[in-house]
Each structure stands twice: as structure tokens, then as C-alpha cells.
Structure 1
Amino acid sequence: MHANGGATPGVARHVGPRRDVLFVSCMLALVAGSMMSRSVLGAVGGGGIAQVEDRVLSAGVYRQDLADIEYSLRFERDRDRRINLLYRKGDLATKLGDFSDALKSYDDILTLTPDTDDIDAMQARFYQAEVYGQWGKYAEAIKTYGEIAGRASADGQYAQIATGRVARIRRLESYASRLADEADPAARARIMFDAADLYEKINDTGAAVAEYERFIDQHRGHELAPEAQYRIGQAYARKGMHVEAMAAMQTVVDSYPASRFDSIALFQLGRLYLAREEPDKALAAFDRILEERPAFFKRSEVYYLRAQCLESMGKADDALGAYGLFLRGVLEAGASVSMTDIGYASDREALRASVREKMAALKADTPGDLLATAKRHAATGEHREAVGALRSLTEKHGDTSEATEAVALLPEYETRSHIEWYLAEAGKAADGATRARAQLNAARLLDETLQDYGNAVLLYRRVAEMAPAAEPWTGRALYRLGVLYLSHLGDERRGLDALESLVARTPEGQEAADAYFRMGEVYRAKDAPAQAIRAFQLALQVSSRVVVLDDGQEDSTADLAAFRIARVMFEDQDECLDCVEALRDFVRSRERSPRLAAAWLYLSRVYEELGDLDNATDATRMALNHAESSPIQARWVRYEFPEFTDSSLGSLLDWIRDRATDLETRGAGVTPASHTP
């Protein structure tokens, strides 16, 4: 069966394989009552504000959830579980306005349910009609509803609902003609507002916003103008477009201060700021409500949210007082409070216990208590709160051993707080590029700062799977995946797979060059010179980044790859003569390379092995000249010759001088014909 579990109006959730007629009837009643009439922040009418389902703070996670579902569908084979995932996918796609994806999800359910009278088939078809209506494709919606009504089961419930939907859409279809035929300005205004409301009820957000804006533009002084502006904010919030929602709510506050929507708009502004982790701005909104709007009907909720702001800002004493006021003035006084509005999922007694726990934690002001509080927050993934506790500890008790430990913990906790922020931003993102960029930033902090390679790999994989191949985030994620698997996790197969996937998607550019180079290093370590040389050659061809060093030398992946080609040939005895040519070409063509000293030193070794001691001597002296003139050159010699890794610059230069003298002495009187350094 499929029960509405807080899904987008028009989309229910699959909860199991049973087919209970009584439940179906109840579900249809829920659908009829809620699918087309809910709004995001609350609806106003009849002189008051009616609370309805609130999704403003959860809309931002839809895209992340959708990516997780896509990943699960790749492996799930059980029919009922696939149907469950597909219903959720259609739900989320509808919320995000990806209507073609939503229709495809329901088509996939129909494929899994060939019996057209099956409850799953009927519901999937019904939700397709809902999607057509939200998409503005009214002809397709009417056609689909008509087919449903003609094949209705479950005591005619589907037929009744489908007929009602058709009536709503027919009324919208006649909207333009009714407006054109009406001459009375007041009646025209009412028709326009009712049309916008109707668009909102069939979840056609774009049309609803456009019609509300048109209404305001033509009837700015109308008594319904504040409500129209407020509903624009609702519509944007429903789509997770928080910036636009806040702008719309701010317009209500600024342009209609005397309306009954002013206070609720300011309240929603505060909640949106708090959801976006801007507690200072949220606090300003809530304080303004308490100071300027004493009769606001959601003062109880304001007290709690205000305390949350103060706690998030690290103002422990003020937060303690605010929570105390909420506990005594609301919970213990028996005042009503909306759990939905304060983002709390449990009952009143559980909320009371939670507030007392928060107050106890805020009272803990000794160095040991503050340190324990920070560690407790960190253990539950609340690193922003942990950072606040550590900072409070260092400010109030800076000369204690606990403060010393706090200073040591702060960098990690701050980094993890940044990671949590990036992941929250990814959840709020309305587009794939923003989401991928935020997740990539979080992965890089896990990888490069915390060395938490296991979790970094999970995020890099998610970015690579979510982002299109053309996005730069894909290449960066795949490259780091390859590096981590190869360098830190010891999984050569997965490392090479990641790098090969990168170059298959984006065969050119710097990420591809870096990937080819890494692959070359792997093949070199595996003693596969032909494969290594080929990988280094590809890196050389596609490298695009050049770094200018302090002394005018230029480094690049291409430069390093060219050097590696020669070095692989040097290590492969069968390629010794080719190595001479490769090294000669390197020192002739790469005059600004930081590896000239290393290249000349390798060339001297090759000449020595070939018995050409004069050329070996000259090459050694060239290496000495470059190493003496540039610390960068000397550093690369130490890097490329492991025996010098721990040597000082002076001892390295002495060794090169001694080598040149030794070669010259040994080669005295011997002048090979190949003396052409």
C-alpha cells in the first residue's frame, strides 16, 4: 500500500506489499484532503492563520535524498523495494520541479505492475496525472484523469478524486476568458487572486508566483496584496528557494507593516535565517517580533527559537535565560506551542526534558564541564556547538590545562564544523553544480586536513556519481579518489579504476594530465615500463598548467612527465641508449625546468655506464652549476635521488664536486668519440 508520509501533495509513499481496501479508502481521503490544499508556511483566511504542514526547513535536502535513491536503485532487485524507491524518487522529483523525471519514475512503477487494476498501477497513473497538472500540461492531465475515472476501483474513490481534479483544471482553462469578460475592477482582482490560489493548489508554483506578482502589480493597494506577497514567499520556500523566499517575506514586512501578514512573515524570515545558519539575523527578527508585535500568536515559538539563536552564537548566559523563560512561561505555564514551527519531532514532555538538558549543559561553566560539553557535542556530530564550548572555555579559563587541551582540539572541531556546514549547504542546493561543489569542499577538508580518508572517499564517490562528466567537480573528485586509493588505502585496482574513469570522461585538461601521471607512477612501480612511458606521454600531451617559481623557473606536470619518461628508460636497461636521447632532449628543450640539475646528474650516470667518462664529467659539472645556483634545483636532486633525501645542501654539493673530480681523474687520457654533451 501507499500512504501519504509527508510527501509532496499528490505523491504518496510506498510502505509495503499488502493491498488493504480499507486502507486504500483512507489513503484516498487523505489524498483528496491534502494533496491540493496544503501550503508551506501556513494559510491565512477567515480572520486567522491556520497551521498546516510545514516543509520550509526540509526542502533543501531533497536533491541529496534523490541522489541517494538513484544510487540504491542501481543495486536493488526486490520488486516491492524498487517500487518504494521509485515512489520516493517521483515524490522528490516533483518537489524539485523535475517533472519529466517524476513521470519516468511512475512509468517505471507501471512497468513493474502490468495489471492495470493493481493498486500500484492505479496510484502511479494517478500521480502522473498530478504531475501533468503541476507541470501546466493540462490537456495531458485531463486525459489521464479521464482514463483513471473510466477504470476506477476501490468504491469509486479514484473516479471521484479524478473528476474533482478535472473540474479544477477546467476552471483554470476558463480563467483567461472569465478575466477578459469581467469589467468590474474589484471582480477582476478577485478572479486573478483566485486563479493564483488555484495554481497553488495544483502545485504549479511557477504559474502561482507569476499570477500573484501580476495581481500585486495591478492591484498594489488591494486588501489581498499582502496575502499575495506572503504566498509568493510560501511558494518559493516550498521549492527550497530560500533566498527568494526571504526576499518575498521581507517585502511583506517592509511594504505591508499594517497587515495581518506582517508578523507571520517576520517570523518565517527568522526561521529561514536560522535554517541557513545565520543566527544573528534570525535573532534580530525574533527580537523585533517581541518588541514591536506583542500580540503575535506564535510568541511561544519565538521564545524557543530565540534561545536556539543565542545558543548557536555561543552566548551561553543569554541562551540559558531564554530557555528558562520558555520553560517557565510556556511549557510549565501550559501555553500552546507548535512542535512543527520549532522543528521538534517529539511530544511536549520530551521537549520539556530536552530544554532542561540544554539548560544544564549551559550552566556547566567550570573548565572540566565546558570541555566535557564540547566533547559530548562532538561525539553527537554537533561540532558548531562543540566549538562554541571550547571558545567559551579558552576565553573564561585561559590559564588552565583544560584550556590547553581546548586549543589543541579547536582546529579539528572547527574543521568538522566547516564540513557540517558544507554538507548542509549541499542539502539546500537547488542545482547540481552547487551541491557538488559543497560536497567536494567537505571531502577535501576530510581528506587534506583531517586525513579521514574513509569518509573522504565516500563523499568523493558521491560527487563523481552525481555530477555530469563535463563538470569540473567530477574530474577533481575522481582524481582524489584515485590518489587516496593508491596512496593511503592500498587499493590499487580501485585507484586505477578511478583514474581511468576520469580520463575516459575528460581525456584532456589538467585533471587528466595528473591522472595519467599517477597511472604512470603506478606502472613504473609495477615494473611495467612500456605502460608507464605511455601514461607519462599522455600526461605530457594534455597538461595545461604551468607554475612560475620564485627564481623564474617553470614547473608543470608536462615537465615532470618528460623527466619521468627519461628516468623510466634509465631504470630499464634495454632502453639505455634511448634514455641518453631523452635526457639530452630534456636539458636542451627545458631551460627553465627545476629538474635540470637532476637530469644532468642522471645523464652523467648513463654516460658513466656507457664508459663515456668525459661526457659524464661534463654532465656532472652542469648538474653542479644548476644545483649551486638554485635551491630549487638542489631540492629536486634530493627528491629524485633517494640516497640524498636527508642530506644538507652543503653535503649534496660536496658529493657532486667529488664525483666530478673522480670522473675527471678516471677519464684522464681517455676521450671517447661520443664526447658531445
Structure 2
Amino acid sequence: METRSRLILLSHVLLIFLLCPLAYAHFEEVHTLIQAGHYTEATNKLEALAESTNDIAVQSWCYYQIGEIYYNYTHQYTRAIEAYDKILKLEKNGLAAEELFLAIIKKGDVHSRMGNYHEAIQIYDRLIKLAPASHFVHKTGLQKIRDINRALSDLREQQRIAIQYKGTPLAAIAQFQIAELYRNHSQLNQPEKAIEEYASLLEAHPDAIMAPEARWRIAHLRHTVLNQSALAMATYRKVTEDYPSSNFAADALFQMANIHRTTKKYSLAIPIFEKLKQRHPNFWNMHAVLYWTGVCYEQTLNYPKAIASFETFLHAYLPQLDPGYLGQISMHDKSVSEVKAEIRRKIEELAEQMAEVELGRLNKARADRDFSEALSIAQHLIATAPHTPQAEQAAEQLPTLQQLTAIENLREKLQDQNLVPIEVARARLQIGSIYERKPLQDHPKAIEAYQEVSKHHADLTHSAEALYRSGLIYAEQLSAPNEAIQAYKKVIETHPNTLQAMMANFQLGELYRKLHRYNEALQAYETTIGYPERDRYLAGGYKDSFADRAQFRIGRVHYDDRRYNEARFAFEEFIQNRTQSPRLAAAYVYLATICENQSENAQAAYYYKRAENLLPDNPIQMTMLIEEASALGSLQATDSDAVMRFLKENRKRLETAKTGSNQ
């Protein structure tokens, strides 16, 4: 929705420039004032321009900009509504429909921001009635109403959980979910209220496992939604101070540096980027760190370091970069080849004879277990001599060196005698997670690190996470189901009111199901359903959760154990109660198979048809069907076309058989 709105606004602005050349100068002037924080002056100029012209397109643009200033920058929401109302009054003067629609949407968004959801729904309902059913804003209005009603329902449920489980980790999770509902623009859209909820969570549960994310969310809302850069900077800094071992500390540094960079304070951005590279070498957005460091060095005329940064970006990160991540360096409108050509214009290659020496230094540093130095040499070698065999060897080692360096840094942190216990737990948990990931995938060492967490921090929720992760490794990587069962049961026994306990119950169900211990599997799945749900919102309005999966698996267990009547009842109950599940199509296919086995061909054809209707242009349902229906011997397809052929052929066969029997 936001993207479409911006496209409408952009076309609106371009039209104004074509019709009124003087508007371009006003646009530049207003933009400069807003960037400088001179909001009153900007609104005064816009009001004056609107009053001085009879061009309704220019008037509409002025009032829209005024509304945006009040909405996004000064948070004077009543005034924002007044500005959008002025646009709506232009309807009688021939205002373009798209501009009218956009003003209605924005007015509804402001009411949502104020917590006036009833008024917001009425406004979106007006949009639905005005726009043709085929118009995207008609669908947008319907979706916004659905999102608000669903979010309010979810809010009430999470508030109930927070009260019922007060003082437990589950209450902390519920409070975090409440903050998330307020944070999301597509749900309750109250960033100020979200900040209050995150702050309340941090006060009530300072050691919660999601505490770093809550603090980061506060900073990010102030930064990207409320445009409060100074407050955002202070809060990002607190993330790095309070949770230095978390992934959110890495992103907080990245955001701090970017605040300085976007305000052209390049000399302040550089040391923060360098600190980020040093402390968090495995940061997911490292390609952007390298690129923007080069930009900052270039702007401060430090060309040697700029060249080094650009070359590292070009040769170490760009070749493996998904084009979708180019937006992180403000090049979303360019192809990888265009980016490559642009960067190459900035840099020169070093002499090839340096490559052999650098590789020797790299190998010695790694042999000495000085992984930080080895990583630095590898990056420099790849950047300065990218087409040599030595650089290829360095590139092969780079991902491993990044992870080993991160572990080295964390182990050095653990030597600090003043480190508080919870930070020790976080560091040890992070070490285990790094060993677990590619390319290291050293699962025994990951388990060792997790055992250190559960041994020394048994009272913290981090212990539950460590035990849970150990269970996953035993089950999925080491083929040790007994050890996995033991780890999951310990989670449930020692940390019963945690998210990890709920997930451990589900994983026990998965293990028992695979071991054909069906009654134990059913019990584990039923226990999973008994926990408060933590929903994950998917495209198309679907919601996934462990409870959803568990309820579906109950049907699968009965099916696998040839209890077809029980399986049928379970799947029928599932489609009745889980109307937003991503597994609906899979449930229909199971029901169709069961009905066919029971010679109920008409009912089987009906269920095949229901699955067919769900699947076109629906990757969520299709993916889940392929994943969940693998137990059905007759359905072994792994691509969508084959699945659709299977369903259509079975339905037609059953319908033909029915017609033949009637004759």
C-alpha cells in the first residue's frame, strides 16, 4: 500500500511540475526546509502557495505536504486531518479521483494513528464505496478494515495472556506481541503507543530474550517513523551498550552511522562503521557497511581507504549479493552489472605480485588462530588482486573466517570479569548459533556452547533456548532422537511457561510421529495447542503458528496410523477452526484421499475442488501442500504444475466414475 501511495504521489508531483513550472522551485524549497527541521516555515510556505493559486492540483499537493508534515514529523494529528479534509473539499472542483482516494487513505491512517479505529474504519468504508471494485484502492480499503479488526482481536487475546501469565516469560512474549501490533502500520499503527509497550516490557522483564529487539524497535520507530533522530541516536547507543553481543547491537551501529551519513556528518559516521566491522564481522548487511564506509571516506577525501572499501564491496560481496539487497545501498533501480560498472570507475587494481605475499600472511595468521587478522588479510587480498588464484583461495576461506572471528571476539568478551551474567549467557548462546550455521556447521561445538549456557545459566530463558537448539541439532543433524527427546523434555520441565517449551512440545510430537509412537505424538501436539498462540503473519492474510501446525499434525498422525475416521474428524475440525491457515489446501487433499478410500467419491471430488480453488496464484498454500502432503503416496509432486494436474485428474476421474454409476 505504501509503495502504491508513493507512486500516486510521485505522479501527482510530476503532473504539477508540468502544469506549473514554478511549483518545482517550491517543491525544492519545501523539501530543504523539511530536511532542516524547519517545519513551521515549510507549512507556512505551503499554505501561502495554496491560497495564492486557483490550480486545484497545486492546492492538493500543498495540503498533502502539510498533512505529511503534521503526520510524519510534528505528530499534530488533528492538524493533519484538517489538511487532508481540505483536499477532500476540492472534490466538488474536479479533483482527480486518485488524489481523492489518497487523501481518504491518509485520513484513515491518521485516525488509526490516533487510536480512533471506529472512525478509521468508517473512512476506509467510504473509500470502498467510492472506488470501483476493480480498483486497487477498493481492495486496499477492504484489507485495511480486515487488518484493524483482526489486530484488535489479537490485541485483546494478547492482553488476556499477559494478565493470565503475569510475571512469566509468556507474559513478556504477550507484551512484545502487543507492542508489535501497535508498531505495524498495517495493523494498529500507533508507534508512540508501541514505544510505551516496549518500554514497559523492558521495565517489567529486563532480562527477557527479546529485550534487545524491544530496545532496538524503540530506536527504529523514532528513527524511521517518528523522524526523531536525536532520540533515535540515543536509544540506538543504549542498544549497543546494554546488549553488545546481540545482532541488534550490530544493526544499531549501522543505523547510527547512517544517521550521521545522511546528514552529511561523514567524519562522525566513519568510526561507527569501523566499529561495526570490528565488533560484528558476521553482520548480515556487511555489504552495505563496506559500500557506505567507502562513500564516507570518499567524501572526507581519504581516497586510499575509500578505494579499499569499494574494492572489498565490489569483489567480496557484490558477486554473491541477491539483487534485492541493492536497495541497502540506494541502488534498487540498478542491475548488478550497472552497480559493478559504477564502482569500477572509482577504483584501481593493485599489482598482482602482492598476491602471493598476502596469501602467505593469511595462512600464517590462521595457523596462529589469529582469525581477526586472517579475515582482514583475506578481505584485502580479494579486493586488491581479485583475479588471482590466491584471491580465489582467500574467497573460499572468507565465510569461515568471518564466523571464526565472530566467535573469537565473543570469547574475548567472556574473559571480561565485569561482564554481567546475562551478557555472558547471550555471548555463549551466540557462539552456539554461529557454530550451527553455514559454513561452519560444527554441530558438536554448537552443542558444547549450548551446554555451557544451560549449565551456568539454568534460571534464564536463554537456557531454554540453548536446550531447544540442542534438541533440534540432535534430531535434525546428528540423527540422535533419544538425546533430542531428553533435551526437549528438559526444556518443558525447567522452563514450562516459555515459548521454547511450547516449541519443544511440538518438536517432541514431530519426533514421536517419525518414530511411529503415535499416541505420544498426539499428546505432545495437544499440549502444544494448549499454549497461547504466537502468530506469524503471511502474505494473503494467512496466519501460521506452532498451534496451527500441531493441529494439522494430529490429523496426519491419525492418517499415518490408519485411523481414518479420527483423521477425517481432525481435518474437518481443522478447516472449520483454522480459516486463515496456510495448510487449508493440504487439509482438503487429505480429506479427499480419506473420502476416496472410503468410497465417498462425490465428497472426495468436492474436497479436491476446494483445494484446486485455493491454489492458483497462491504460493503460500502451494508450498504447504507440497510439504505437508508428502505422506500421501499418490502425491509425490514437487512443482505447482504437477500438483494442479494431480488434483484436476483425480477430481475428473471421480466425477466421471460418479456419472458412470448414475447411468
Normalising by structure 1, we get a TM-score of: 0.44
Normalising by structure 2, we get a TM-score of: 0.45
The structure whose RCO (Cα within 8 Å, separation 6+) is larger is: 1
Structure number, greater radius of gyration: 1
